[in-house]
Structure 1
Amino acid sequence: MDVKYKVRVTTGNLVHSGTFDSISITLVGTEGESPKTALDNWGVDFYTGAVSDYEVSCKHDLGDIVLLRLHKECMLKLFATNWYCTFITVTSPKGAEYRFPCYQWMEGCQTLELREGTAKTPAMDTLPLLKDFRIKELQKRQSDYGWKVFAEGIPHCLDVSSMTELESEVKFSFTKGALFAERGASKTIELKLRGYSDSQESWEKLEDIKDVFWFNKSDISEYITEHWKEDAFFGYQFLNGLNPRMIQRCTKIPPNFPVTNEMVTKFLGDDTTLEKELEKGNVFIADYKILEDVPAGLNNERQRYIAVPLCLLHLTKEKHLMPLAIQLSQTSGPESPIFLPSDPEWDWILAKTWVRNADFHVHQSVSHLLRTHLLAEVFALATIRQLPTCHPLYKLLIPHTRYTFHINTVGRETLMSKGGIFDQQTALGFEGLVKLLQKGTKALTLTSLCLPEDLEARGVSSLPHYYYKEDGLKLWAAVERFVSDIVNLYYPNDHSVKEDCELQKWMEEVFEKGFMDQETSGVSSSFSSVQELKKFLTMVIYTCSAQHSAVNSGQFDFGSWMPNFPSSMRKPPPSTKGTANLEDYKDTIPEINITSTILSTLWLLSAPPGDMIPLGNYPEEHFTEESPRRLIAAFQEELKKISNEIEERNKSMAKMGGPVPFGYTYLYPPEIENSVSI
């Protein structure tokens, strides 16, 4: 009597997931294989979202089902359709269920081999068939996904030249791709119709900047338009703006920034001194030394300028962070004056704008591009190349790599390339961008990428109204618990980590291609303990999700009022005081076309991305066992709790006496994407 297996096949819900082509299946068990069996219930079986049941008959019991083969044959070669299969379940005559995650496209005539979905490290595989499958799967992946050097001294990237070369699995969905293209086109057309994208003139009135994106407003962007000159808001941005990791505690005034008590005593209060405030830990500094020797480029074929500021800040009795002094170079002297809040209005505004311009360069190049996008691509590519689909850490990490290859490839084509946005619309230019990325890469450390350690190292753990810190620490702890619990399921001791050859190859590639073999980074080329593994994986997931959200999502909010976040400066930093005025200011900040293009870019990169999967949501069921699925549910519950706490905090912001009347949402879990995808 024939033995019958029940097979359930699920087609994805993505646009164009279905196919009219013929699909067959072969089951592979420990005791043999089934005949190749057509999956056909008459009519169209594999339409978008279809869940279809079939029977596969065999002459004898196949034992445990460990692999299956899907065969796709084109009905009409000229009209072949692709198929996106998400999941297949096989049930034996005895009721045993075998689950096969797929989540892959089948294109043209193709055979796709899948293994049963139970997560296993190399040591857990004993069958020669499955050991061989692991090796062949990685060999194919390494053939399909290679490394290349975009520029010497920065993290390596995927070896493709354009989006057309990307594998289907890593491309934007039709929905996301269409939305991204439509937004980019609509902004270009709108700006041309208004004449903004062609004018190389200075803004006649600063208020006119509001007209560029008059219909895209938020509470934050509206507030900034009205309050951008205020010192309290300037200080607030070091805590909760786009680049909340520049500030550090100052315990001693640097010799190249000779701020004296006499300069700042009137801003500190009558009952204290600069020395006393330094001792109390109330003085902070933002040092943009990384910009030193970075060459400035040309915009509109005219020279641009880069300052290398030092900014001293003070935590007041009211717990507001206020700027005390600004120097626009790293060398003190008569031609490098120290600007103070008591200086003439436009002197002080211009000095603060130079700091904001320096922050633009460091944020966009280092905090955003290098430390989230480029590192996320390294983590993603090493995962694809070195961890097979059955590996528990592949299953853990793969949701946090979604669309990263696509968005970074777009970035290399349009933003980072010679003639791209960075080259033409920012003071850095292409050469300056590469040099700043090289300096940022050389300065990369594991400590700085791990939020709790970074806060301690910068001496800012106790700063009030630091919502990036407060929300970030909660999220870090939640990710850390989730990662630790997952790792504990598969790695009982340090030896199990050391003997995992696939994991060690993954770390070796990350160290070599991402951290450029730099031992000074504090990153090792291998793992020697469970604890090391947990810490590094926590950093990876946090970087690809929460940290990216913190430095990306507010770009238009904080940058739509261009003087708050200028991409270039047309005149050199002032070498004397008392010469600045409104006209001089307008001739220093970016002209109309540069402003308009940058604002369009910031809007595109921080608008709701479409087809988003929030942090902790895993609609693709890579883990098939009950234990990791329970841990995912617990992680989701913890994120809900954090979300509720943030909601309550934000509702009461206006009553808390903080420097701004709006909440901080860039680390609000429902608005954090699982991966770097925009």
Structure 2
Amino acid sequence: MFGIGKNIIEGALNTTGDLAGSVINAGGNIVEKVSSIGGKKIKGKVILMRSNVLDFTQLHSSVLDTFTEILGSGVTFQLISATQASFDSRGKVGKKASLEQWITSIPPLFAGESVFQVNFPWDDNDFGYPGAFYIQNGHTSHFFLKSLTLEDVPGYGRVHFDCNSWVYPSGRYKKDRIFFANNTCLPKDTPDPLRKYREEELLNLRGDGTGERKEWDRIYDYDLYNDISEPGDGRPILGGSQYPYPRRGRTGRRRDWKDSKYETRLPVVSGLNIYVPRDENFGHLKLSDFLGFALKSLASTVFPALVGMVNITRPGGEFDKFQDVHDLYEGGLPVPLDVIRNLTKDFTPPMLQELLRTDNDQRLLKFSPPQVVKEDKFAWQTDEEFAREMVAGVNPLIIRRLEVFPPKSKLDPKIYGDQHSKITEENIKSGLEGLTVDEALNQRKLFILDHHDALMPYLRKINSTKTKAYATRTLLFLKEDGTLKPLVIELSLPHPQGDQFGANSKQYFPAEEGVQKSIWQLAKAYVVVNDAGYHQLISHWLHTHAVQEPFVIATHRQLSVLHPIHKLLVPHYKDTMFINAFARQVLVNSDGLLEQTHFQSKYAMELSSYIYKEWNFLEQALPANLIKRGVAIEDARSTHGLKLLIEDYPFAVDGLEIWSTIKTWVTNYCSLYYKDDSAIQNDVELQSWWKEVREKGHADKKNETWWPKLQNFNELVETCTTIIWISSALHAAVNFGQYPYGGFIPNRPTISRRHMPEVGSVEYKELESKPEKAYLKIINSMLQTLLGVSLIEILSRHASDEVYLGQRASIEWTSDKAAVELFEYFGKEVSEVESRIIERNKDVNLKNRSGPVNVPYTLLLPSSSEGLTGQQEKNKRRRQEKEGQPTFLKYKKERERVTAEIRQARRKIDRCGAAVIFPTTGRFFTARGGVGSFGIVEGVFGGLRRRDLLRCCFGISSASVSGFIPTGSVGL
């Protein structure tokens, strides 16, 4: 309700009533009526949001607190002294103070915020500096506490508490909720009166490892991946066994009666209710709220419905030509209107309704045109674009320099036989531009995209399903213009007589005409199927989501909110735990969306465990990763200390600038608190944190010798930089380009359903006569395409409330002025990096920046707007927020129109009592206690569509935008 604030309240309450110590005047303003209390008082300002404003997933939840409940003694505060101790050496606890006044004179910065006044009894001689406070919520519902600010504390001035936490009724907690002032200090520097409070709060967050976690809990703990399948599904438990895996957040749900090693799964419809510590849940203005609904519906409703719809639309469920796929973006699918109505009538989520929009033209599932086919419908088929996407696409982390010819396998020959490549010099010499193989190797011009060893151990199992895939190797030559040219593709299968007999391999070569051109296009498709599956399962899920969760958990369990490293890292963990938890429900679970849309099928997560065996934290640092892959060498004379061997490598060039900027910020920040190595060694919280990351969070790899010891400054800086890099830039690079490149499935298929046609077969003849139809029969079916494209369109979107690299959600995140100044400098450096990226994209000599498809590499731009990525636009909303303007100002006209309609509606129902309408929830409240539904409000608004109303109130837009480095792991 507070999004329109005083405009809604003014004149709406035409009666005067006692609101627990406050009075509503004739104008609708709340004025203070406080009992006289002697003694000096310290004024405080409290900013909070009520749960019915924030919990947008609870569209049908009951009515929550009214002002009568919020004001008065229902919410109380007690200050805790950081300088004056009680008899038990704990900071003295002050007298209780209650919320007393709703301050309408101060406009809220964001929709939904409300500002209240609180007056604390004060004794100058007996309290000192308030370093913390208790809060008790005496209501039956919860609210979101943003901050408490004390003005003019004697001897100290202004004291700010940056809270940003859900506060549930006090009966839900074993201990009172405590918040600390926004100071920063190492454990040894904690004021003595606060020391026990600091330690106890960490104990509260750790819990005791027992019981089922509830919605209001704040406990962080570890568990195995024993909740992604059920006994008998044929999927193993991951972690703590022969299938190593990072740990996930513990929920404590009961064990399955059929096998107690498995945790019971929630019903799909309850997926959003899976436990994560409450403050890890999606926040205000979160487009991911809709994302969650959409994914849930895709899994449980849309997929079955699409089966029938596809059969109606196209018997056989196949595309016949590429234009059929283009029709998804140009006109959608022709479906009888009654089928559409039946499919969409029960859908509540606005995003899903948008996904299934028809515009009354009897066409369904009309998608936004992916950038890869926006400029040119056929450029994706070129060899140059095929190769360019290895360095500037959605998975630019796999290509490496070829150092030995022919390529060698590292698989154990005792188990897998001879897995070395059968490519010969004769196969590739025509493409080496006059060089021999040895000369090309010595000049560092040969590169390889190698998925062979990662897939071969599981390929026999995978091909026992409906999938028919290969393990692929692709050799490329670096041309003088900086682009890459594919030389040969090798497709390998397990030997039919057994693994010990090695691989059956066949080579395919570039061709420009006839059936050989069609065969070459298919060979490239098999490569991309490998790459797309590896990307989603490993580069994205495993390497930027699953491996990060232990760091999130350990940080909250072992580092106090007062700790400098906690303040440094936590913004980059935003939404990670909830996204991962939800992914376990509908994405990476047995028969989940990933299994349905990618070639690994039922062996996907087991395969990711196999790959995790080789995971090395040190190699996640960008410079180390580039060096390991041989695409860069150390060079002290070069920028960032590295020389790229593919100079026009957009991901690496932009990434190194981002990495260097992050590392400089981390170095400068850490130097404020750690003056020497002994300070790191003697930091008990820091050492406990790092020990827990290794021994509990990544317990299956705790004995690896490569783990940093975290005993010196350089190790601390490198560790923190790597964690931030993974959560921000690396995740951005592999997530937000999914729809621009993969939204057109022929360019980036994720499934292959047949092997390469054999000469003389019916399939081969079809390849000769109808190459497009033959190609489409091998890759994703029509149904798989619809589901896959729907999924990645959702996953590729930016949320409306993302906080980007170089920003903080709160400008008062610390009272340390030196840290604030360093962060402001970091923000300026990030902006300069963004400007340089944009300039590089304009350089026509850098052919890999845009390629034949003319899609500029914007995936590492440090900022973005909400929606799909791809256009070079500055984030206006971000600047407005930094200047303290409401996010919905860009929709001012719509907001004013809705406000006028609200006033008109109020007049219409005035005969039944004064009323207030709350567009944020779709309800209206009358003075007589009546409650209306969203449907009534929609009728009042006279045809205003729900998504337009939401956009007006929340600033949510589907506009395409540029760039994307959120501070934390926002997208899936």
8 Å Cα contact 1:14-1:174 kept in structure 2: no
Number of the residue aligned with 2:389: 237
Partner SS, residue 100 of structure 2? coil
The Cα of 1:410 is off from its aligned counterpart by: 1.4
Shifted more, 480-489 versus 169-178: the winner is 169-178
Number of the residue aligned with 1:601: 791
Distance 1:220 1:201 in 2: 24
Partner SS, residue 149 of structure 2? strand
Distance 1:535 1:342 in 2: 47
Matched, 1:89 2:150: yes
CA offsets, 1:21-54, max 9 Å, x none? 2322212223344321223026899994233444
Number of the residue aligned with 1:641: 832
Q: How does 1:247-262 map to 2 (within 5 A)?
A: 247-253=399-405, 254=407, 256-262=420-426
8 Å Cα contact 1:7-1:53 kept in structure 2: yes
Query: Aligned to 1:263, which of 427, 445, 454?
Result: 427
**CA 1:260 to 1:520, structure 2 compared with 1: closer, same or farther past 3 Å?**
farther
8 Å Cα contact 2:48-2:143 kept in structure 1: no
Matched, 1:204 2:320: yes
8 Å Cα contact 2:650-2:857 kept in structure 1: yes
The Cα of 1:652 is off from its aligned counterpart by: 3.3
Partner SS, residue 313 of structure 1? strand
Partner SS, residue 336 of structure 1? strand
Number of the residue aligned with 2:272: 163
Number of the residue aligned with 2:224: 149
Distance 1:525 1:376 in 2: 16
Number of the residue aligned with 2:121: 57
**CA 1:409 to 1:447, structure 2 compared with 1: closer, same or farther past 3 Å?**
same
The one-letter amino acid paired with 2:97 is T
Partner SS, residue 668 of structure 1? coil
8 Å Cα contact 1:373-1:408 kept in structure 2: yes
**CA 1:43 to 1:544, structure 2 compared with 1: closer, same or farther past 3 Å?**
closer
**CA 1:196 to 1:533, structure 2 compared with 1: closer, same or farther past 3 Å?**
farther
The Cα of 1:327 is off from its aligned counterpart by: 0.7
The one-letter amino acid paired with 1:610 is S
Number of the residue aligned with 2:871: none
The Cα of 1:92 is off from its aligned counterpart by: 1.5
CA offsets, 1:458-496, max 9 Å, x none? 121220321101110000000001111111111111111
Distance 2:535 2:377 in 1: 21
Distance 1:304 1:392 in 2: 49
8 Å Cα contact 1:247-1:458 kept in structure 2: yes
Matched, 1:676 2:969: yes
Matched, 1:282 2:436: no
Number of the residue aligned with 2:476: 313
Q: How does 1:454-465 map to 2 (within 5 A)?
A: 454-460=625-631, 461-465=644-648
**CA 1:6 to 1:228, structure 2 compared with 1: closer, same or farther past 3 Å?**
same
8 Å Cα contact 1:563-1:589 kept in structure 2: yes
Shifted more, 194-203 versus 229-238: the winner is 194-203
8 Å Cα contact 1:401-1:675 kept in structure 2: yes
Q: How does 1:109-508 map to 2 (within 5 A)?
A: 109=170, 111-127=176-192, 129-143=193-207, 144-150=219-225, 151-152=238-239, 153-160=244-251, 162-164=271-273, 165-176=275-286, 177-181=288-292, 183-184=294-295, 192=306, 195-196=309-310, 201-214=317-330, 215-223=367-375, 225-253=377-405, 254=407, 256-269=420-433, 271-288=434-451, 289-295=453-459, 303-329=466-492, 335-342=504-511, 344-430=516-602, 432-460=603-631, 461-508=644-691
**CA 1:116 to 1:672, structure 2 compared with 1: closer, same or farther past 3 Å?**
same
8 Å Cα contact 1:117-1:390 kept in structure 2: yes
TM-score relative to the length of structure 2: 0.65
The Cα of 1:174 is off from its aligned counterpart by: 4.9
Distance 2:529 2:507 in 1: 17
The Cα of 1:330 is off from its aligned counterpart by: 7.4
Distance 2:614 2:320 in 1: 41
Partner SS, residue 16 of structure 1? helix
The Cα of 1:374 is off from its aligned counterpart by: 0.9
**CA 1:507 to 1:45, structure 2 compared with 1: closer, same or farther past 3 Å?**
farther
Partner SS, residue 310 of structure 1? strand
Number of the residue aligned with 1:36: 96
Distance 1:274 1:525 in 2: 39
8 Å Cα contact 2:465-2:601 kept in structure 1: no
CA offsets, 1:291-338, max 9 Å, x none? 122257789x96212311111100112221011011112789995221
Distance 1:369 1:136 in 2: 34
Distance 1:334 1:539 in 2: 37
Shifted more, 20-29 versus 143-152: the winner is 20-29
Greater C-alpha Rg: 2
Distance 2:832 2:102 in 1: 48
8 Å Cα contact 1:250-1:285 kept in structure 2: yes
Number of the residue aligned with 2:728: 545
Q: Structure with the greater relative contact order (CA < 8 A, sep ≥ 6): 1 or 2?
A: 1
The Cα of 1:251 is off from its aligned counterpart by: 2.1
CA offsets, 1:124-172, max 9 Å, x none? 1250x32211221111111212211112211111123653223331111
Structure 2 spans left out of the alignment, 5+ residues: 1-37, 55-64, 85-91, 208-218, 226-237, 252-264, 266-270, 331-366, 409-419, 496-501, 632-643, 864-963
Q: CA RMSD in A?
A: 3.0
Matched, 1:610 2:805: no
Partner SS, residue 419 of structure 1? coil
Matched, 1:632 2:823: yes
Number of the residue aligned with 1:666: 859
Query: Aligned to 1:102, which of 147, 163, 187?
Result: 163
8 Å Cα contact 1:202-1:591 kept in structure 2: yes
8 Å Cα contact 2:370-2:739 kept in structure 1: no
Matched, 1:652 2:822: no
Number of aligned residue pairs: give it: 670
The one-letter amino acid paired with 1:201 is G
Distance 1:573 1:27 in 2: 72
Partner SS, residue 453 of structure 1? helix
The Cα of 1:2 is off from its aligned counterpart by: 3.6
Shifted more, 445-454 versus 463-472: the winner is 445-454
Distance 2:162 2:837 in 1: 35
Higher helix share: 1
Distance 1:448 1:573 in 2: 36
TM-score relative to the length of structure 1: 0.91
Number of the residue aligned with 1:5: 42
8 Å Cα contact 2:488-2:508 kept in structure 1: yes
Partner SS, residue 373 of structure 1? helix
The Cα of 1:457 is off from its aligned counterpart by: 2.0
